Amino acid sequence: MSEEYKNDYIKYRLDRSFETLNDAKVLIKSKSWNSCINRLYYASYYAVTALLLKQNLKTKTHRTVKSQFSLHFIKTGIVSKELGQLFSDLADWRNKGDYGDLFDFDEQTVTPLIAPVEDFINVIRKLIVE
């Protein structure tokens, strides 16, 4: 992958992260809680994949994205354990909301996640542009 293509792809993923966060905000207005959790996870996921690519860490699955992020950024203290836990929780909740039967998230669970996810994405963005 050329350096130019890599940088374009990183920018695309980071832009997609912010767009997906905005999608989550729209879904809150329609009270689509499970879909909102999905979008919050993917907003974070897109940011993390951009960061991993910036560091030339290649991943093919959600599981490897999560493990590589933990290994290179959480365990090293570059990103706080709290933000690492947020990403991990979002992944688990996304699976539960998308694939769990007879389970629905609610407003009290989902709405307070918007600001922390936005903070998460901004932390990742700062790491990418440094």
Question: Going from the N-terminus, what domains does the chain have, and what CATH number goes with each?
Answer: 3-129 (1.20.120.330)
Q: What is the pLDDT of residue 106?
A: 93
Predicted confidence (pLDDT) at residue 3 exceeds the cutoff of 90: no
Contact 69, 84 (CB under 8 A): yes
Predicted confidence (pLDDT) at residue 112 exceeds the cutoff of 90: yes
Q: Which residue has the tokens 């998230």?
A: 105
Residue 100 pLDDT grade (very low, low, confident, very high; cuts 50, 70, 90):
confident
pTM for the full predicted model = 0.94
What are the DSSP calls for the chain, one per residue? --HHHHHHHHHHHHHHHHHHHHHHHHHHHTT-HHHHHHHHHHHHHHHHHHHHHHTT----SHHHHHHHHIIIIITTTSS-HHHHHHHHHHHHHHHHHHH-TT----HHHHGGGHHHHHHHHHHHHHHHH-
Q: What is the mean pLDDT of residues 109-116?
A: 96
Q: What tens digit of pLDDT does each residue of 62-79 get?
A: 999 999 999 999 999 999
Predicted confidence (pLDDT) at residue 102 exceeds the cutoff of 80: no
